Amino acid sequence: MAIVNSCPPFSNFISESTITNNVAAKNISVRRCSLSGRIPYLSNKRNIVLPAMASISCPHIDVDYLESELRERGVTLSGIGDSCVARMALENGNAANLMLPSGLITSFKAQMWHGGTMELLHTSVSPRENASAGALIQGGLSLSLDCQNDDGLSWSPNAWALHQVNGSPQDSIQVELVSRNKQSLAQVKHIITLGRDLLTSEILVSNSSISSLHLMGSITCHLAVSTPDATYAVGLEGSGFFIRPPLVADFNIIPHEFAKKTNQDPRKFWALNKLFSKSDARKWNVDDDVESLMRDVKEELEGEEQDNYKHLTQKLSRIYTCAPRNLTVIDRGRRNSVTVRRNGFKELYMLFSSWYMNIPLYLHRPRSAA
């Protein structure tokens, strides 16, 4: 169960595990954004700063050397082809897997009320057409950012280097990743913290140039669920929404029913920059796109959610504007729930598909800084 600040909203559900995303920025007016609470800073923990070679790229990391240094911090590294996996594990059973250099969080297992652990993220692994390129991994929890300065120079941090590790397996483990762009003088830090009852993802963006930096991005979380009949969303009542096709991003899973209806035409899906234009929603062909999105369920392109305890039995692909700061997804089949807390990001995009038995949640907000 994923609960904000370990406070269970329902007595019959688990009071452990929270997925959190925090966003902060230096020289950029972005407030912290979260998918739940945050863990207090532990002043007595020893920090480990990795050697310079670890800040180049993941394939250059000396796994044997770092494992001996990081094992006592609860972190183990293992190589997989040209990538490596950083596994964070606490003594209470909570664990998370982070892939480098992509920065994709592929797993978050949380301790449950019955004493075991449960996977809260949904990740898909499939073969590529080019077998030499390795397996295609999608889902999980990922970050997608697009930075652009006044000169039109655009940059997206998609290669992350392991920079620093803090904490201990008794309390919390913090892994810091960094991605830099020398041309735009921009730097993004991605800090992942595994706590006793939560997983946090904090983004720090720095702009060292005199040019303004325009930031647009999303934090995508694919949540594992059992069946549509057993899944409910609590807290959406009164939120305005626009119906949207699935969002195209590197790690986003496009459900089979959506891709099949559109014949996998990428023009039917949405890139990140189109998410913020509400006028585009009115340009769709209602009989075509809404039918493909909702499987012949006729529905207006925009509206207001009337149900505070929404039964997710239908296919959903919506952007909720003026979204609630707290949204709880209840899964009666798995007997758990996940509470999503929004702080700083403006909109929440929700896609529900019974095909993959998962709920991707997207938060977006374009910002600019001097």
The dihedral through the CA atoms of 227, 228, 232, 233 has a sign that is positive
Q: Mean pLDDT for the chain? A: 68
Reported as a pLDDT band with limits 50, 70 and 90, residue 296 is: very low
* Over residues 66-79, mean pLDDT: 83
Pair 53, 362: CB distance under 8 Å: no
All residues at 6 or more sequence positions from 355 whose CB lies less than 8 Å from its CB, including other chains: 255, 256, 257
> How far apart (Å, rounded) are the C-alpha atoms in residues 51 and 39?
27
Strands (E) across 150-282 are located at 154-155, 161-168, 172-181, 186-194, 199-207, 213-224, 231-234, 240-243
* Over residues 7-13, mean pLDDT: 27
Give the percent of the chain with pLDDT over 70: 56
Per mean pLDDT, which range of 19-28, 58-67, 184-193, 296-305 is the poorest?
19-28
> Is the predicted pLDDT of residue 104 greater than 70, yes or no?
yes
* Over residues 312-325, mean pLDDT: 74
* Over residues 108-113, mean pLDDT: 87
Q: What pLDDT sits at residue 88?
A: 95
Q: What are 38-48's pLDDT values in tens digits?
A: 222 222 334 44
Return the higher-pLDDT residue of 33 and 346.
Answer: 346
Residue 86, judged by CB atoms within 10 A of its CB (0-12, 13-18, 19+), counts as buried
> Is the predicted pLDDT of residue 341 greater than 90, yes or no?
no
* Over residues 334-342, mean pLDDT: 79
Pair 338, 356: CB distance under 8 Å: no
Return the higher-pLDDT residue of 73 and 314.
Answer: 73
The full DSSP string for 348-360 is EEEEEBTTTTEEE
DSSP H/E element including 317: strand 316-321
> Is the predicted pLDDT of residue 314 greater than 70, yes or no?
no
What does the chain come to in residues? Answer: 370
Q: What are 158-207's pLDDT values in tens digits?
A: 899 999 999 999 999 999 999 998 887 889 999 999 998 888 888 888 88
